[in-house]
A and B are shown apart, each in its own frame.
Chain A
Amino acid sequence: MRTRKVMVTGAALSAVLLASACGGDDGGDANTGASEPGELEGSVTMWTYPVMADETEHRSFWDDTIAAFGEEYPGVDVTVEIFPWADRDQALTTAIAGNSAPDVVYFIPDQLPGYARNIEPIDPYLDDDAKADYLPNAVEAVTIDGQMVSAPILASAVTLTCNKEVFDAVGETEYPQTWDDLREMAPAFKDAGYYMIAYSGDVSQTLNLTFYPLLWQAGGDVFNEDGTDVTFNSDAGVEALTLLQEMVEGEYVAEDMLTAMPPTEQTQLAQGNVACAWHTEGKNLVEFWGEENTVILPPLTNVEQVAYGTVGSLAMLSSADDKDAAGAWIAFVTDAEQVATYNEASGFLPVKESIGSLYDGDPILGEAEKYTDLTTVGPLHEDAREIMGVLAPEIQAVLIGQKEPRQALDDAAQAAQSVLR
Chain B
Amino acid sequence: MSVGTLVSTRRRPSWREARIALLFVLPCLVLFVLFRFGPTLAGGVLAFTDYTIGADTSFVGLENLRRLSEDPLFWRALRTTLTIAVLAVPLSIGISLGMALLVRRAFRGHRLFRSIFFLPVITSLVLAGIVFSWIFSSGGPWSSIMGWLGLPDQAWLSDTTLVIPAIVIVAVWGRFGFGMLILLARLQDVPRELEEAALADGANAWQRFRYIVLPELYPALFFLVVIETTFTFQIFDTVYVMTSGGPANSSYVLVFQLYDQAFRYFDFGYASAIGLALFVMTFIVAMIQRMTIGRER
Of A260, A318, A386, which one neighbours B265 at CB under 8 angstroms?
A386
CB neighbours of B54 from chain A (8 A) = 96, 115, 117-118, 318
B138 at the interface (CB under 8 A from A): yes
B204 at the interface (CB under 8 A from A): no
Q: Please state if B248 and A394 are interface contacts (CB–CB under 8 Å).
A: yes
In this complex, the interface size class of chain A, counting residues with CB under 8 Å from chain B, is: 35 or more
Question: Contacts A90-B263, A117-B55, A394-B248 known; A400 to B67 CB distance under 8 Å?
Answer: no
Q: Which of A203, A262, A397, A415 has the most CB of B within 10 A?
A: A203
Q: Which residue of A lies closest to B73 (CB)?
A: A415
- Tell me the A248-287 residues at the B interface (CB within 8 Å): 255-256, 258-262, 266
Q: Please state if B137 and A256 are interface contacts (CB–CB under 8 Å).
A: yes
- Tell me the A71-94 residues at the B interface (CB within 8 Å): 87, 89-90, 93
Q: Please state if B244 and A397 are interface contacts (CB–CB under 8 Å).
A: no
Q: How far is the CA of A204 from the CA of B249 in the complex (A)?
A: 12
Q: How far is the CA of A399 from the CA of B157 in the complex (A)?
A: 14
A1 at the interface (CB under 8 A from B): no
7 further contact pairs, Cβ within 8 A, besides A393-B248, A400-B160: A93-B266, A114-B266, A203-B245, A256-B138, A262-B133, A402-B248, A415-B73
B247 at the interface (CB under 8 A from A): yes
**Nearest CB of chain B from residue A378's CB, rounded to whole Å:** 16
- Tell me the A208-267 residues at the B interface (CB within 8 Å): 255-256, 258-262, 266
Q: Please state if A418 and B67 are interface contacts (CB–CB under 8 Å).
A: yes
B90 at the interface (CB under 8 A from A): no
Q: Which residue of A lies closest to B252 (CB)?
A: A393
Decide if the interface of chain B is mainly helix, strand, loop or mixed: loop
B260 at the interface (CB under 8 A from A): yes
CB neighbours of B72 from chain A (8 A) = 415
A165 at the interface (CB under 8 A from B): no
Question: Contacts A93-B263, A118-B54, A393-B246 known; A255 to B157 CB distance under 8 Å?
Answer: no
Q: How far is the CA of A204 from the CA of B248 in the complex (A)?
A: 12
**Nearest CB of chain B from residue A207's CB, rounded to whole Å:** 13
Q: Please state if A393 and B263 are interface contacts (CB–CB under 8 Å).
A: no
Of B158, B245, B252, B263, which one neighbours A258 at CB under 8 angstroms?
B158
Of A90, A255, A318, A418, which one neighbours B71 at CB under 8 angstroms?
A418
CB neighbours of A203 from chain B (8 A) = 244-246
Q: Which residue of B lies closest to A119 (CB)?
A: B54
B155 at the interface (CB under 8 A from A): yes
Q: Which residue of B lies closest to A114 (CB)?
A: B266
Can you list the 6 inter-chain pairs with the closest CB atoms, starting with the nearest? A259-B247, A118-B54, A397-B248, A393-B249, A90-B263, A204-B244
Q: Please state if A93 and B53 are interface contacts (CB–CB under 8 Å).
A: yes
Contact with B along A46-58 (1 / 0, CB 8 A): 0000000000000
Q: How far is the CA of A400 from the CA of B138 in the complex (A)?
A: 14
Give 12 CB contacts A-B under 8 Å. A90-B263, A114-B265, A118-B54, A256-B137, A260-B137, A389-B264, A390-B73, A396-B246, A400-B247, A402-B248, A415-B73, A418-B70
CB neighbours of A114 from chain B (8 A) = 265-266
Of B158, B160, B260, which one neighbours A260 at CB under 8 angstroms?
B158
- How many A-B pairs fall under 8 Å by CB? 91
CB neighbours of A97 from chain B (8 A) = 53
Q: Please state if A262 and B266 are interface contacts (CB–CB under 8 Å).
A: no
**Nearest CB of chain B from residue A78's CB, rounded to whole Å:** 24
Q: Which residue of B lies closest to A402 (CB)?
A: B248
Q: Please state if A89 and B247 are interface contacts (CB–CB under 8 Å).
A: no
A133 at the interface (CB under 8 A from B): no
Contact with B along A31-74 (1 / 0, CB 8 A): 00000000000000000000000000000000000000000000
Interface residues of B (CB under 8 A from A): 53-55, 67, 70-73, 133-134, 137-138, 155, 157-160, 242-249, 252, 260, 262-267
**Nearest CB of chain B from residue A116's CB, rounded to whole Å:** 9
**Nearest CB of chain B from residue A142's CB, rounded to whole Å:** 18
Q: How far is the CA of A118 from the CA of B160 in the complex (A)?
A: 39
Q: Please state if A400 and B266 are interface contacts (CB–CB under 8 Å).
A: no
CB neighbours of A399 from chain B (8 A) = 247
CB neighbours of A118 from chain B (8 A) = 53-54
Q: Which residue of B lies closest to A398 (CB)?
A: B248
Q: Please state if B158 and A400 are interface contacts (CB–CB under 8 Å).
A: yes
Q: Please state if B138 and A89 are interface contacts (CB–CB under 8 Å).
A: no
Q: Please state if A89 and B245 are interface contacts (CB–CB under 8 Å).
A: no
**Nearest CB of chain A from residue B1's CB, rounded to whole Å:** 58
Q: Please state if A389 and B133 are interface contacts (CB–CB under 8 Å).
A: no
Question: Contacts A203-B245, A204-B244 known; A259 to B158 CB distance under 8 Å?
Answer: yes
Contact with B along A374-392 (1 / 0, CB 8 A): 0000000001011001100
CB neighbours of A93 from chain B (8 A) = 53, 262-263, 266
Q: How far is the CA of A227 from the CA of B155 in the complex (A)?
A: 39
A202 at the interface (CB under 8 A from B): yes
Q: Which residue of A lies closest to B243 (CB)?
A: A260
**Nearest CB of chain B from residue A274's CB, rounded to whole Å:** 15
Q: How far is the CA of A266 from the CA of B155 in the complex (A)?
A: 14
CB neighbours of A383 from chain B (8 A) = 265
Q: How far is the CA of A96 from the CA of B158 in the complex (A)?
A: 37
